[in-house]
Amino acid sequence: MTLTWHGGKTIWEGHPGVANTNSWVSVPDFYDYMVNNEIATVKWSSTEVNIGDVIQFWNPGDEAWTHAGIITNLDTPYGITYAGHTDDHFQRPLSDVYPDSYTEVRFLCPIDTID
């Protein structure tokens, strides 16, 4: 696990010239960083999420968590929508990819630290 998501940059494998930390470009490392540092907690139910929470997708072909997005809307004709950069979309319905392409989803929800 990368200790800080913003420092100690390494070259992103397969993308020469692009420097990032593993916890910023790797779905499992991002999850580990957010949960282990008590920044976010994992939720498995869409009824517990808010706009801005991170959604992560399980790819059954790779048998791994391989993609992530940001929840952009909860109350649309399509249900939950999210933004992602892989094929540049905003307000993409979760139903476009789940459960057909990705068989599981999990949500990273920020821990409220304000007293």
- pLDDT tens profile 48-82: 999 999 999 999 999 999 999 999 999 877 789 99
The runs of H, that is alpha helices, within 22-97 are 22-25, 27-36
The reported pLDDT for the residue numbered 33 is: 92
18, 60: one domain: no
Asked whether the beta carbons of 92 and 110 are under 8 A apart, the reply is no
Cα-only R_g, the chain: 15
45, 69: one domain: yes
Q: Alpha-carbon distance 33 to 15, whole Å?
A: 22
Q: Which two tokens stand for residue 99?
A: 């459960």
44, 94: one domain: yes
16, 53: one domain: no
Q: Which domain holds residue 107?
A: 39-115
18, 51: one domain: no
Q: What is the pTM of this model?
A: 0.77
25, 62: one domain: no
Q: Alpha-carbon distance 71 to 66, whole Å?
A: 17
